[in-house]
């Protein structure tokens, strides 16, 4: 069960991405779930979601954590018992985690799909992208913006932010693989570094 990609962001932060190719039984090997996780897994009807859930536990194992080390607050945000920061994501056949010793982090992975064109106006001023004539490039850019905003939403960790009004992503070029993002809420502005990458039709974005 190989890790698809490991990224050392800096000395204290690491990203791990898993490509889900295993069966449910294979992903269950050497994984012990607590009762909360067992109940949650049992309530999932989608095989993709069940595999995604287990692949995240396999990623935790790769960095010497167990299911018991992971706790969730009242907003559903994950935390590690030792005080380090973590964010988790899953989309179709990929899952990923980001862990930092000292800074809040967020991560999102998304499949690149035409569907994003229909919802773009809900999370970003779509008129800013009218100059992008290439269809695939437009989908790629919008997927990065969505993933960046989702990552910042996860960092904030409370269900109050509006993607369109409270989270802003600076313009970027594909070549740099990075940009800046801001959360503006109740008169306070917080700025974060954002990185992104594309792999096999998926976009992974992480922020800290």
Q: Exposed, middle or buried, 184 (CB in 10 Å: 0-12/13-18/19+)?
A: middle
Adjacent-strand bridge partners of 15: 7, 98
DSSP characters for 6-25? EEEEETTEEEEEEE--S-HH
Which residues, other chains included, contact 36 with Cβ-Cβ below 8 Å and sequence gap of 6+? none
Whether 192 contacts 181, CB under 8 Å = yes
Clarify whether residues 25 and 68 are in a common domain: yes
Clarify whether residues 61 and 127 are in a common domain: no
pLDDT of residue 201: 97
Clarify whether residues 113 and 193 are in a common domain: yes
Choose the final residue of a domain: 102, 135, 165: 102
Q: What is the pTM of this model?
A: 0.95
Choose the final residue of a domain: 56, 80, 102: 102
* Rounded-to-integer distance, Cα 67 and Cα 44, Å: 17
Clarify whether residues 80 and 44 are in a common domain: yes
DSSP annotation of 164 reads H
Choose the final residue of a domain: 82, 102, 122: 102
Clarify whether residues 20 and 62 are in a common domain: yes
* Rounded-to-integer distance, Cα 110 and Cα 20, Å: 14
16 lies in which domain range? 5-102
Clarify whether residues 11 and 90 are in a common domain: yes
* Rounded-to-integer distance, Cα 11 and Cα 68, Å: 25
Dihedral angle, C-alpha 21, 84, 185, 9, nearest 10 °: -60
Clarify whether residues 96 and 125 are in a common domain: no
Question: H or E segment at 70?
Answer: strand 70-72
119: left (phi over 0), alpha (psi -120 to 50) or beta: alpha
Clarify whether residues 112 and 203 are in a common domain: yes
CATH code, domain with 170: 3.90.470.20
Domain count, the chain: 2
Structure tokens at 133: 């004539």
pLDDT of residue 129: 84
Four-residue CA torsion sign, 147, 71, 65, 208:
positive
pLDDT in tens, the chain (208 residues): 579 999 999 999 999 999 999 999 999 999 999 999 999 999 999 999 999 999 999 999 999 999 999 999 999 999 999 999 999 999 999 999 999 999 999 999 999 999 999 999 999 998 888 788 899 999 999 999 999 999 999 999 887 889 999 999 999 999 999 999 999 998 999 999 999 999 999 999 999 9
Clarify whether residues 93 and 152 are in a common domain: no
Clarify whether residues 91 and 134 are in a common domain: no
Clarify whether residues 19 and 61 are in a common domain: yes
Q: Which of 186, 138, 137, 178 is nearest to 158 (CA)?
A: 186
């Amino acid at each position: 069960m190989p890790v698809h990609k490991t990224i050392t962001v800096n000395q204290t932060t690491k990203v791990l991405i898993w490509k889900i190719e295993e069966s449910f039984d294979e992903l269950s090997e050497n994984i012990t779930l607590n009762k909360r996780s067992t109940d949650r897994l049992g309530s999932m009807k989608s095989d993709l979601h069940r595999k995604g859930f287990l692949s995240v536990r396999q990623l935790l194992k790769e960095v010497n954590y167990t299911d018991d080390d992971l706790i969730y607050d009242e907003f559903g945000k994950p935390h590690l018992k030792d005080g380090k920061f973590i964010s988790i994501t899953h989309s179709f056949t990929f899952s990923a985690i980001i862990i930092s010793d000292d800074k809040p982090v967020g991560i999102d992975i998304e499949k690149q799909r035409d569907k994003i064109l229909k919802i773009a106006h809900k999370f970003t001023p779509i008129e800013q992208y009218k100059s992008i004539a290439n269809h695939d490039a437009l989908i790629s850019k919008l997927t990065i913006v969505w993933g960046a905003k989702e990552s910042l939403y996860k960092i904030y960790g409370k269900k109050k932010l509006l993607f369109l009004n409270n989270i802003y992503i600076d313009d970027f070029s594909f070549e740099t693989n990075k940009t800046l993002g801001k959360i503006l809420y109740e008169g306070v502005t917080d700025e974060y570094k954002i990185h992104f990458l594309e792999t096999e039709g998926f976009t992974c974005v992480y922020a800290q």
